[in-house]
Amino acid sequence: MKSTFALLNRMQADGVIGSYAIGGAVGATFYLEPVATLDVDVFVLLSAPAESALLSLGPIYDYLLPLGYRSEGAYIHIGDWPVQFLPPAGPLEEEAINRARETEVEGIPLRVMTAEHLAAIALSVGRAKDFSRILQFIESGVLDSASLDDILTRHHLLPKWEQFGRRFLNPDPP
């Protein structure tokens, strides 16, 4: 993964992408025990071309394909990893990118979403594996409850959090 992280920094320095943050299962491994995953989710801020209001991943492909990286569906293979570049779907993901924490892997600097943002995004997506990840975050004790509450409140996720709590944390007796 070292080569993937180095390439992300190069892409940012070259202006291909704006700020970025590692999310998904790989992002979670910075806080939790590693889990099997097939890809790296890289959330990126992109600029819309002046002539269009639409964001495009085209500049990423235009940059990487001539360097010998190959695309397959929604992924670009960098080293041994399929990488999915994801523009933020809304304010929560955009905030997660902007507030990502800086860390290093084998001397390579990179940005990783906070545990609280990863949990909030997982809650908003709401798949079974997302709920499982939230439970892992809770059980590991890595979440700052005040920060998580603030994020959930600002992004109108408190009803989903309460529903999650009723279902998984304080289920009604049978």
Burial class for 16, CB neighbours closer than 10 Å (0-12, 13-18, 19+): middle
Whether residue 102 is found in the same domain as residue 132: no
pLDDT one digit per residue (tens) for the chain, 174 residues:
888 999 999 999 999 999 999 999 999 999 998 888 889 999 999 865 556 556 789 999 999 999 999 999 999 999 889 999 999 999 999 999 999 999 999 999 999 999 999 999 999 999 999 999 999 999 999 999 999 999 999 999 999 999 999 999 986 666
DSSP-assigned letters across all residues of 110-152 = EEE--HHHHHHHHHHH--HHHHHHHHHHHHHT---HHHHHHHH
**Domain residues for 102?**
2-113
Whether residue 89 is found in the same domain as residue 143: no
Q: Which of 107, 115, 102, 89 is nearest to 24 (CA)?
A: 115
Tokens 């099997």 label which residue? 36
Whether residue 21 is found in the same domain as residue 75: yes
3-class DSSP assignment, residue 36: coil
Contacts of 173 (CB under 8 A, 6+ apart): none
pLDDT at 50: 54
Contact 61, 55 (CB under 8 A): no
CATH of the domain at 16: 3.30.460.40
Burial class for 47, CB neighbours closer than 10 Å (0-12, 13-18, 19+): exposed
Whether residue 67 is found in the same domain as residue 11: yes
Tokens 């491994």 label which residue? 29
- Domain end call among 72, 92, 113: 113
174 within domain boundaries: no
pTM of the model: 0.92
Question: How confident is the model over 75-116, as pLDDT tens digits?
Answer: 999 988 999 999 999 999 999 999 999 999 999 999 999 999
Number of domains comprising the chain: 2
